[in-house]
Structure 1
Amino acid sequence: MLCRVSAHLFRQLARKQSTDASLILERSINRVQLLGRVGQDPVMRQVEGRNPVTIFSVATNEMWRSGEGESMSTGDVSQKTTWHRISVFKPGLRDVAYQYVKKGSRILVEGKLDYGEYVDKNNVRRQATTIIADNIVFLSDNVRDRS
């Protein structure tokens, strides 16, 4: 009992001190897992003064059944495909992705979600959502290689 009261008092004191500090550090999570097919062969780009990056796209599909009776055997099947831009900055993974990721391959990408802005060739400001990959799992051979 005394131990529990002491722990509670310590937590309150720590919370009070952390709110007084100008910088509050707390844990958060930004994790993404995508399982899908590669939409284009990767390209490697390098902006002057920065490390190169390998970029490709992955398609994920969501399917659902709608209509009367919404049972498994009746109703219309609908599908939505979502395209995701993948950027690989990690030096070893970046090179492996550039060499072995191929259009049509089935892969699992793990990473974090990143939002940014850029100015296109017409000087229009655009927003971009990107998955910054830190792991890629190759799940199958290229679709074109199947016979």
Structure 2
Amino acid sequence: MLRSSLTQVFRQVVRNWSTDTSLILERSINRVQLLGRVGQDPVMRQPDGRNPVTIFSMATNEMWRTGDGQAGSTGDVSQKTMWHRVSVFKPGLRDVAYQHVKRGARVLVEGKLDYGEYVDKNQVRRQATTIIAESIVFLSDNRDKE
């Protein structure tokens, strides 16, 4: 009895292993961390009758010093600002973000990258990159209170 059950299980494993390679899953990582300031107050949308989403923009800055590369040399400081679109789908986090994220607030957003397409009002197909937030850490109120 036990021997026939083990044989049956073994045959099933071998059959799946030899014919179905979709069972082999590789581990991969899609993680993003952004530390910056909120560019606009969040809006909540419910696209096409699906789950609501809270959306806001966020700015991060990259700074560098230009110069001849010599130690102790002074040069001009340059800055580049990058804007990111953040979407929050998790029900509890979505509501907290909508109520408490404000323009100018400093936040840490952790999540994943998502690439998509949409058709704008002129019927032109556009690409969009979005950060899907999985956690938000509030680091300060807006700039006026700092």
Q: Same fold (TM over 0.5)?
A: yes
Deviation (angstroms), 1:71: 3.8
Q: What is the alpha-carbon distance in structure 2 between the residues aligned to residue 70 and residue 122 of structure 1?
A: 52
Q: 2:69 aligned with 1:66, yes or no?
A: no
Cα 1:116–1:104 change in 2 (3 A) is same
Deviation (angstroms), 1:69: 3.7
Q: What is the alpha-carbon distance in structure 2 between the residues aligned to residue 86 and residue 109 of structure 1?
A: 8
Partner of 2:122, secondary structure, is: coil
- 2:43 paired residue number: 43
1:36–1:61 Cα contact (<8 Å) kept: yes
Indicate the structure (1 or 2) with the bigger Cα radius of gyration: 2
Pairing of 1:1-147 with structure 2 (within 5 A):
21-23=20-22, 24-71=24-71, 73-146=73-146
Q: Show CA shifts across 1:76-126 (max 9, x none).
A: 111000000000000000000000000000000000000000001110000
TM-score (structure 2 length as normaliser) = 0.83
Q: What is the alpha-carbon distance in structure 2 between the residues aligned to residue 75 and residue 19 of structure 1?
A: 63
Q: Show CA shifts across 1:37-95 (max 9, x none).
A: 00000000011320000000110000001122454551111100000000000000000
For structure 1, the 5+ residue unaligned runs are 1-16
Q: What is the alpha-carbon distance in structure 1 between the residues aligned to residue 70 and residue 119 of structure 2?
A: 45
For structure 2, the 5+ residue unaligned runs are 1-15
- Equivalenced residue count is 130
Partner of 1:122, secondary structure, is: coil
Partner of 2:21, secondary structure, is: coil
1:87–1:133 Cα contact (<8 Å) kept: yes
The one-letter code matched in structure 1 to 2:49 is G
Cα 1:126–1:72 change in 2 (3 A) is farther
Q: What is the alpha-carbon distance in structure 2 between the residues aligned to residue 19 and residue 113 of structure 1?
A: 35
The one-letter code matched in structure 2 to 1:139 is L
